A and B are shown apart, each in its own frame.
Chain A
Amino acid sequence: MALFQFPAAPAFDIARPEDILLPPRAWFVAFTLGLAFILNLMPLTGLWLALRPDFFAIVLLYWCIHHPRWIGVGVAWLCGLLTDVAEANLFGQHALAYTLLGFSAEYFHRRVLRFPLWHQALHVLTILLATQLVVLVLRLMSGASLPSLIFLLSSVSSALIWPVASMLLQWPQRVRSLTD
Chain B
Amino acid sequence: MSNRVTSLPTEPPPFFRRGLSPFARLTIFGLASVVLMFIDGQFKTLETVRRAVATALYPAQQAALWPAQAVQAIGEFFDSRAALRSENERLKAELLIASQVAQAARAAQAELAQLRALTDVARSTAGAQRSRVLFPSRDPFSQKVFIDRAGHDFEAGVAVIDERGLLGQVTRVHPLLAEVTLVTEKEFAVPVKVERTGMRAILFGRGPGKAPELRFVPTSADLRAGDVLLTSGIDGVYPANVHVATVETPRRDPESVFVTVEATPVAGLTSASHVLVLPRQTPLPPMPAAETDPPRKQDARRRQ
Q: Is there a chain A Cβ closer than 8 Å to B179's Cβ?
A: yes
Q: Is the beta-carbon distance between B64 and A106 smaller than 8 angstroms?
A: no
Q: Is the beta-carbon distance between A92 and B36 smaller than 8 angstroms?
A: yes
Give a binary string over B52-67; 1 marks a CB under 8 Å from any A CB, 0 the rest.
0110010011011101
Which B residues are in CB contact (< 8 Å) with A87? 137-139
Q: How many Å lie between the Cα of A12 and that of B209 in the bound state? A: 42
Query: Which bucket holds chain A's interface residue count?
Result: 35 or more
Q: How many Å lie between the Cα of A117 and that of B209 in the bound state? A: 37
Binding site for B on A (CB under 8 A): 34, 37-45, 49-50, 69, 72-74, 76-77, 80-82, 85-93, 95-96, 99-100, 102-103, 106-107, 138-139, 142-145, 147-148, 151
9 new A-B contacts, CB < 8 A, other than A43-B136, A145-B141, are A37-B60, A39-B64, A43-B64, A87-B139, A88-B137, A91-B36, A91-B49, A107-B22, A147-B141
**Set B34, B140, B142: member contacting A151, Cβ < 8 A:** B140
Q: Is the beta-carbon distance between A99 and B135 smaller than 8 angstroms?
A: no
Which A residues are in CB contact (< 8 Å) with B57? 82, 85-86
Which A residues are in CB contact (< 8 Å) with B23? 103
Contact count A vs B, C-beta below 8 Å: 136
Q: Is the beta-carbon distance between A85 and B53 smaller than 8 angstroms?
A: yes
Which A residues are in CB contact (< 8 Å) with B39? 91
Tell me the nearest residue of chain B to A34, going by C-beta.
B60
What is the distance, in angstroms, from B47's C-beta to the closest C-beta of chain A?
10
Chain B: interface secondary structure? helix
Q: Is there a chain A Cβ closer than 8 Å to B33's Cβ?
A: yes
Q: Is the beta-carbon distance between A89 and B22 smaller than 8 angstroms?
A: no
Q: Is the beta-carbon distance between B22 and A99 smaller than 8 angstroms?
A: no
Chain A: interface secondary structure? helix
Q: Is the beta-carbon distance between A88 and B179 smaller than 8 angstroms?
A: yes
**Total residues of chain B contacting the partner, CB 8 A:** 50
Which A residues are in CB contact (< 8 Å) with B139? 87-89
Q: Is there a chain A Cβ closer than 8 Å to B226's Cβ?
A: no
Q: Is the beta-carbon distance between B37 and A92 smaller than 8 angstroms?
A: yes
| Surface stretch bound by A, among B24-32, B86-94, B95-103, B256-264 | B24-32
Q: How many Å lie between the Cα of A177 and that of B18 in the bound state? A: 32
Q: Is the beta-carbon distance between A147 and B30 smaller than 8 angstroms?
A: no
Tell me the nearest residue of chain A to B135, going by C-beta.
A43
Tell me the nearest residue of chain A to B134, going by C-beta.
A43
Q: How many Å lie between the Cα of A81 and that of B29 in the bound state? A: 11
Q: Is there a chain A Cβ closer than 8 Å to B50's Cβ?
A: yes
Q: Is the beta-carbon distance between B29 and A89 smaller than 8 angstroms?
A: no
What is the distance, in angstroms, from B10's C-beta to the closest C-beta of chain A?
18
Q: How many Å lie between the Cα of A102 and that of B25 in the bound state? A: 10
Q: Is the beta-carbon distance between A103 and B26 smaller than 8 angstroms?
A: yes
Which B residues are in CB contact (< 8 Å) with A86? 54, 57, 60-61, 138
Q: How many Å lie between the Cα of A99 and that of B147 in the bound state? A: 31
Q: A103-B25, A147-B208 are in contact. Are A89 and B141 (CB under 8 A)?
A: yes
Q: How many Å lie between the Cα of A74 and that of B30 in the bound state? A: 10
Q: Is the beta-carbon distance between A41 and B40 smaller than 8 angstroms?
A: no
